[in-house]
Amino acid sequence: MSRYGALRVLREGLTGNRGWQPVWREPQPKESYEVVIVGGGGHGLATAFYLAAEHGITDVAVLEKGALGQGNVGRNTTIIRSNYLLPANTAFYERSLKLWESLERTLDFNTMVSQRGVLNLYHSDAQRDAFARRGNAMRLAGIDAELLNRDEVRELVPLLDFKDARFPIEGGLLQRRGGTARHDAVAWGFARAADQRGVDLIQDCEVTGFDIDGDRVRAVRTTRGPIRARKVGIAVAGHTSQVAQLAGLDLPIESHVLQAFVTEAVKPLLHHVVTFGAAHFYISQSDKGGLVFGGDLDGWNSFAQRGNLPTMERVMSSAVAMLPCLGRLRVVRQWGGVMDMSFDGSPFICRTPIEGLYLNGGWCYGGFKATPGSGWCFAHTIAKDEPHPDNAAYTIERFREGRLIDESGHGPFPWAH
Ligand SMILES: Cc1cc2nc3c(=O)[nH]c(=O)nc-3n(C[C@H](O)[C@H](O)[C@H](O)COP(=O)(O)OP(=O)(O)OC[C@H]3O[C@@H](n4cnc5c(N)ncnc54)[C@H](O)[C@@H]3O)c2cc1C
């Protein structure tokens, strides 16, 4: 029976909610583990879960410097999709979307996956052709995609500006299986399911160094003492370059701030995720009624989880250019997150030159949708000591070998944003 089934919720409600237990344990770190995962965000927690669930490896610790789920996994705009162009990306993101589709049953936790459709607007013939190409590539890979004309878009989202728009809408590329998921529930769901399988989730435990013997990692140094491990996986998102440097790895990653915004709650007015084609802007409406949206990076390197005013202004002007009715709403919340921007816009899920040390990072501003797929593939890579075909291209060496996965519009050239 589901732990949060209707009968249980009703019983607890009637008896003062005194029967709930903490959702995960608070264990003391052991002296050694088979696998240590650095970083208790979505990707680290998902990796620990799949190590236990798919590979039977339960002697695992997730070390988190703060509290679980306080990083980007709880700060994003919750969009999930698999509408990529390049073969190295399509299989990976489609695996992730398929895992999202059954995630609530897998975790026995309501992650509020909502396949409401992701609609990318196009505003010129050239943009239509590019979107048609992307849609065709998706369909050839067995992924759903529909190219809509202006009237079909108007039927789906009538409040878009179709009258005197500065960038008239010509149509859109729709992935109906895309949508949103409740971001912090994803962290809690993976954390609870990993804990239930015996994984130690250790909070307030910052990794400050690695003990490397020859070319093999032996232990991590932490603020709670050294912890030995046969294998160590790094999954620290915006802090990837810093943590990798502790192991002597210099990665092609820069950290940048990305902001998100939420308006006051209103009745349902937007039933899909919609992205603007004339500027970088994306929006959806949460189940509570707030409009959740974001735009571009702030434009310079930072580890601060807040944002600057010129970027806010640009995002707001995109919002009202696309959906003029938003001009009457108040923004009630805003925050920033630190993005690990790789230089081709694609991630790393791979071994490193150091034996027993594995890397997961470079998610740019698109890593939330990757969470289950990334955890699944990283767990496979750690357990088998080799990548799964779906993440085989996500190596560090691709930069040396000239095999970049340059998926335009997904983060390349962070300095240009
Ligand atoms: C505003 C915003 C909007 C976004 N919108 C979307 C979106 O709509 N769709 C999408 O797909 N993606 C989106 N993203 C990107 C997505 O959120 C990230 O790519 C993804 O969450 C990163 O992986 P994570 O969840 O593991 O990261 P995090 O949750 O950041 O996890 C990394 C963890 O590592 C910990 N850590 C760091 N250093 C150490 C250390 N030395 N020792 C121990 N622990 C450490 C951190 O405290 C953190 O908890 C957005 C991001 C932001 C900020």
Long-range contacts of 104-109 (CB under 8 A, 24+ apart): 104/189, 106/53, 106/193, 107/49, 107/189, 107/190, 107/192, 107/193, 108/2, 108/3, 108/193, 109/4, 109/185, 109/188, 109/189, 109/192, 109/193
Contact 253, 234 (CB under 8 A): no
For residue 413, the model assigns a pLDDT of 57
Query: What separation in Å is there between the alpha carbon of 133 and the centre of ligand 1?
Result: 30
Average confidence (pLDDT) over 13-21: 93
Q: Categorise residue 413: left if φ over 0, alpha if ψ from -120 to 50, beta otherwise.
A: left
How far apart CA 176 and CA 161 sit, in angstroms, is: 22
pLDDT tens, position by position, 167-200: 999 999 999 999 999 999 999 999 999 999 999 9
Query: What separation in Å is there between the alpha carbon of 202 and the centre of ligand 1?
Result: 17
Q: What is the pTM of this model?
A: 0.96
* Residue among 358, 335, 165 at smallest CA distance from 249: 358
* Residue among 392, 382, 49, 38 at smallest CA distance from 236: 38
Both tokens of residue 41? Answer: 């965000």
Contact 254, 415 (CB under 8 A): yes
For residue 2, the model assigns a pLDDT of 66
Residue 3 pLDDT level (bands cut at 50, 70, 90): confident
* Residue among 262, 278, 411 at smallest CA distance from 347: 411
Residue 417 confidence (pLDDT) above 70: no
- Of the ranges 1-15, 213-227, 279-293, 380-394, which one carries the lowest mean pLDDT score? 1-15
pLDDT tens, position by position, 65-85: 999 999 999 999 999 999 999
Mean pLDDT value across the chain: 95
Which of 38, 76, 205, 305 should be mutated for ligand 1, with most atoms under 8 A from CB? 76
- Residues in contact with ligand 1 (CB, 6 Å cut-off): 38-44, 63-66, 70-73, 75-79, 206-207, 235-239, 243, 258-260, 294, 337, 363, 365-369
How far apart CA 91 and CA 382 sit, in angstroms, is: 20
How far apart CA 67 and CA 321 sit, in angstroms, is: 38
Closest ligand 1 atom, residue 260 Cα: 1
Both tokens of residue 62? Answer: 């997730």
> Which domains, and CATH codes, for the chain?
29-79+85-94+101-106+183-251+344-416 (3.50.50.60), 113-179+254-342 (3.30.9.10)
